[in-house]
Structure formats: C-alpha cells, structure tokens
Amino acid sequence: AAALEKNNTLQILHLGDNSIGDDGAIALAAALERNNSLTELYLYKNSIRAEGAKVLLASLEKSTTLTDLDISGNDASAKSAHIAWKRKLLASHIISLLFYP
C-alpha cells in the first residue's frame, strides 16, 4: 500500500481474490487518500467486512481520480456499509460500483 501512495502512473489495480481482509482494506484506504492516478480498483473476494468497508468509504471522499470500484464477493457484513457507499458515491465522481455478497 505504501508504494501506491507515491505512485503517479498506475491507473488500474487488480487485487481480487487475495484475502486482504479489513487490515489490507484499511492500508489501501490510507494510500488512496494520497494517490492521484488510480482510476480503477478491483477488490472482489477479499474477505473485507464492515470495518474495512467503512474506512475505504471515508478514503473515497479524498480520492479524486478513482472512477471504478469492484468490492463484489466480500463478506456479507459489509452489505450495510455498501448502502452507505452507494449514497456517498451517487454524489461523488465514482462512476461504477460493483457489489454483491
């Protein structure tokens, strides 16, 4: 995640099916706040639960370049966070959000 903070050329990042969990999601969230090039992020099937989802949501408010986010196939407990995500993202620059448990 630290490398993502400093990278200004990476536009698409596929991290699906890596079991990063909440800890990984929280680390990515910190990096997303500082990254200015990433446009697509794929986090499907990563065992992200509500805690990780909430922190990611907060970081999206500071990300200005991300337009596509895939959080499908994560823990069902993140579903409530997903509802909050949708509300926030409707008023933001995120174009595509994929989610299903």
Query: Is the model's pLDDT at 77 over the cut of 80?
Result: no
Return the closest-CA partner of residue 13 out of 33, 40, 31, 36: 40
Residues 6+ apart with CB under 8 A from 23: 52
Q: pTM for this one?
A: 0.80
SS (H, E, C) 23-78: HHHHHHHHHHHHCCCCCEEECCCCCCCHHHHHHHHHHHCCCCCCCEEECCCCCHHH
Predicted confidence band of residue 83 (pLDDT cuts 50, 70, 90): low
Per-residue pLDDT tens over the stretch 5-55: 889 999 999 999 999 999 999 999 999 989 999 999 999 999 998 888 888
25, two tokens: 């999601």
- According to DSSP, the β-strands at 40-42 and 96-98 are unpaired
